[in-house]
């Protein structure tokens, strides 16, 4: 753990780097890695030095809380908390997502139906604002509005320097049941029952997510956490987790393997690099079976253009990247998937039910209402003269029509009026006037749509 003294030194370094940025110039993080999937404009000159803000400061095993630096990855956070028999309430699927990133950008995982989103476990946070000050925001102090608007603000209100979060006791194992349903309607009925009772077929459900392979092959993976010592499966080796969902009705994983079950193969996306082929998998180093490695391979391909060359050889007219996570009300899940199959045709898709405990203005889901996150990541073939972002624009319109919302970690194409209505930019602007009067930080619209 970093400890408070190291944290104070890191904060001093951060503030010194702020002062080194010429007055009037935009402020950005000097951060090499990212889990974003949208282009980002380049900013010349120095950025904020957050190199010392990537650890855990302190864990209190009595109060079940942890003080964590904003750039600490969940991989490191989980390693530290498990040593104390504790775990964050919600652990996003990918190892290198940071706590600050999950809070300002909305993380989600299979405990979100029971425990909400990662920011709902935050008790207080130190935020570096656009004015260069660090303020401590809580749900009920003088910075309560900043605290409430921070989730989904993506750095437009500042950067989380320290967060105090609630933890839960960590079980030893996750017992899984992969339950098949013949339609999204039937799966939605099961989610509604689990949301109401916390059980399915008489067995307690601690976590739930789903995989829709086809319209009539939809699985809910129901996890029950327990302090057992049963034989476990290992999906970091030759076996691929998502394939096991179709092959096994029950399974047992260690808690750590359960938390990172999707990271090893980036859900199913590692297949694009050949990493799931039995021969390639034997020689692919285990330490390189990670989402951040695949992310770097995507970036490399964007630069080198191997996939573009292959498309030309195959006479593919054009491709559009469709990498999105959206939320729709539970009762509209079947409507969305039916539309998605007709208009996009990408399978499998990931399903993750959730509900929030309070209103968060920048991502206004109705508290207590069950939504389903639908995640789909890949490319689709489009006509050669297709308008850039045409498929993504249709997805945005349909999600809006169904009363849902779209996460902003990937490309967005909303017009300004629609965006303002969905993400409370009036409230954000009011807070930016208070905390960033010189507009040193880019607005949420500039970041998410204009890729500033």
Q: How many CB atoms lie within 10 A of CB 224?
A: 18
Residue 207, in any domain of the structure: no
d(CA 219, CA 328): 18
- Tokens standing for 328? 């729709």
The SS3 call for residue 323 is strand
- CA-based max dimension of the chain: 62
Would the pLDDT of 17 be above 70? yes
Condensed to tens digits (0 to 9), the pLDDT of residues 302-357 reads 888 778 877 787 888 999 999 999 999 999 999 999 999 999 999 999 999 999 99
d(CA 110, CA 235): 18
Environment class of 123 (CB within 10 Å of its CB; exposed 0-12, middle 13-18, buried 19+): middle
Rounded to a whole number of angstroms, the CA Rg of the chain reads 22
Query: 392 and 440 share a domain?
Result: no
Could you tell me which of 353, 352, 434, 414 has the C-alpha nearest to residue 144? 434
Query: 441 and 385 share a domain?
Result: no
d(CA 418, CA 376): 23
Contact (Cβ atoms closer than 8 angstroms) between residue 126 and residue 69: no
Confidence class for position 41, pLDDT limits 50, 70, 90: low
Would the pLDDT of 406 be above 80? yes
Residue 288, in any domain of the structure: no
- pLDDT given for residue 448 in this prediction: 94
Would the pLDDT of 291 be above 70? yes
The SS3 call for residue 126 is strand
Contact (Cβ atoms closer than 8 angstroms) between residue 343 and residue 394: yes
Q: Domain total for the chain?
A: 2
d(CA 167, CA 151): 19
Burial 422-434 (b: 16+ CB within 10 A, else e): bbbbeebeebbee
Would the pLDDT of 451 be above 90? no
- pLDDT given for residue 34 in this prediction: 74
Residues 6+ apart with CB under 8 A from 197: none
Q: What is the mean pLDDT of residues 164-177?
A: 98
Query: 330 and 436 share a domain?
Result: no
Query: 13 and 129 share a domain?
Result: yes
d(CA 247, CA 251): 10
Residue 242, in any domain of the structure: no
- Tokens standing for 235? 């999906």
d(CA 102, CA 125): 13
Burial 22-49 (b: 16+ CB within 10 A, else e): eeeebbbbebeebbbebeeeebeeebbb
- pLDDT given for residue 43 in this prediction: 56
Would the pLDDT of 38 be above 90? no
- pLDDT given for residue 283 in this prediction: 93
Contact (Cβ atoms closer than 8 angstroms) between residue 322 and residue 395: yes
Confidence class for position 235, pLDDT limits 50, 70, 90: very high
The SS3 call for residue 437 is coil
Domain around 66: 3-170+430-448
Query: 435 and 366 share a domain?
Result: no
Residue 314, in any domain of the structure: yes
Query: 39 and 158 share a domain?
Result: yes
> Terminus-to-terminus CA distance in the chain, angstroms?
34
d(CA 226, CA 249): 18
Residue 150, in any domain of the structure: yes
Q: Tell me what the pLDDT averaged over the chain comes to.
A: 94
Say how many residues make up the chain. 452
- pLDDT given for residue 11 in this prediction: 98
CATH number at residue 143: 3.30.465.10
| Lookup result for tokens 């775990």 | 87
Q: How many CB atoms lie within 10 A of CB 327?
A: 24
Residue 320, in any domain of the structure: yes
Query: 373 and 435 share a domain?
Result: no
d(CA 260, CA 182): 28
d(CA 448, CA 154): 8
d(CA 93, CA 261): 8
Would the pLDDT of 46 be above 90? no
Would the pLDDT of 452 be above 90? no
Condensed to tens digits (0 to 9), the pLDDT of residues 347-388 reads 999 999 999 999 999 999 999 999 999 999 999 999 998 999
CATH number at residue 398: 3.30.70.2520
Would the pLDDT of 42 be above 90? no
Residue 388, in any domain of the structure: yes
Q: What is the mean pLDDT of residues 166-170?
A: 98
Residues 6+ apart with CB under 8 A from 387: 393
Query: 380 and 441 share a domain?
Result: no
Query: 318 and 409 share a domain?
Result: yes
Query: 366 and 435 share a domain?
Result: no
Share of the chain above pLDDT 90, in %: 87
Residue 346, in any domain of the structure: yes
Condensed to tens digits (0 to 9), the pLDDT of residues 101-160 reads 999 999 999 999 999 999 999 999 999 999 999 999 999 999 999 999 999 999 999 999
Half-sphere exposure in the Cβ direction for 172 (13 Å, CA): 7
Strand partners, 126: 136, 162
- Tokens standing for 301? 């391909």
- pLDDT given for residue 313 in this prediction: 79
Would the pLDDT of 389 be above 90? yes
Q: What is the mean pLDDT of residues 244-254?
A: 98
Query: 376 and 439 share a domain?
Result: no
Query: 153 and 39 share a domain?
Result: yes
Q: What is the mean pLDDT of residues 20-32?
A: 86
Condensed to tens digits (0 to 9), the pLDDT of residues 252-285 reads 999 999 999 999 999 999 999 999 999 999 999 9
- pLDDT given for residue 257 in this prediction: 98
């Amino acid at each position: 753990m970093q400890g408070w003294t190291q944290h104070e030194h890191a904060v001093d370094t951060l503030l010194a780097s702020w002062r080194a940025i010429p007055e009037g110039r935009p402020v950005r993080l000097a951060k090499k890695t990212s889990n974003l999937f949208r282009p980002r404009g380049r900013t010349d000159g120095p950025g904020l030095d957050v190199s010392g803000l990537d650890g855990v400061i302190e864990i209190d095993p009595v109060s079940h809380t942890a003080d964590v630096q904003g750039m600490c990855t969940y991989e490191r956070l989980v390693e530290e908390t498990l040593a104390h028999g504790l775990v964050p309430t919600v652990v996003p699927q990918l190892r290198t997502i940071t706590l600050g990133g999950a809070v300002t950008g909305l993380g989600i995982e299979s405990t979100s139906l029971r425990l909400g989103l990662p920011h709902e476990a935050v008790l207080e946070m130190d935020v570096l604002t656009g004015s260069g000050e660090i303020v401590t925001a809580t749900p009920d102090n003088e910075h309560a509005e900043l605290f409430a608007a921070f989730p989904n603000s993506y750095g437009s209100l500042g950067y989380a320097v320290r967060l105090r979060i609630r933890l839960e006791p960590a079980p030893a194992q996750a017992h899984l049941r992969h339950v098949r349903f013949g339609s999204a309607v039937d799966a939605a009925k099961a989610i509604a029952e689990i949301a109401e009772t916390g059980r399915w077929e008489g067995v307690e459900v601690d976590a739930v997510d789903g995989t829709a392979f086809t319209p009539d092959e939809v699985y809910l993976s129901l996890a029950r956490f327990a302090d057992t010592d049963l034989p476990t499966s290992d999906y970091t080796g030759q076996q691929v987790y998502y394939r096991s969902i179709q092959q096994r009705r029950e399974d047992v994983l260690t808690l750590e393997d359960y938390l990172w079950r999707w990271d090893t193969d980036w859900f199913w996306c590692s297949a694009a690099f050949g990493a799931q082929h039995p021969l390639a998998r034997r020689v692919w180093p285990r330490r390189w079976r990670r989402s951040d490695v695949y992310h770097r391979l995507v970036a490399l391909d964007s630069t080198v253009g191997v996939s573009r060359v292959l498309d030309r050889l195959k006479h593919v007219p054009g491709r559009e990247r469709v990498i999105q996570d959206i939320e729709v009300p539970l009762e509209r899940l079947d409507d969305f998937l039916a539309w998605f199959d007709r208009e996009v045709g990408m399978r499998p898709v990931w399903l993750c039910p959730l509900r929030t405990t309070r209103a968060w203005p920048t991502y206004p889901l109705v508290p207590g209402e069950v939504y389903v996150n639908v995640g789909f990541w890949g490319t689709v073939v489009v006509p050669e003269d297709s308008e850039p972002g045409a498929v993504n624009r249709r997805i945005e319109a349909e999600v809006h029509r169904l009363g849902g919302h779209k996460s902003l970690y990937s490309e967005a194409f909303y017009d300004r009026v629609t965006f303002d209505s969905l993400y409370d930019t009036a409230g954000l602007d009011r807070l930016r006037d208070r905390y960033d009067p010189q507009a040193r930080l880019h607005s949420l619209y500039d970041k998410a749509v204009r890729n500033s």
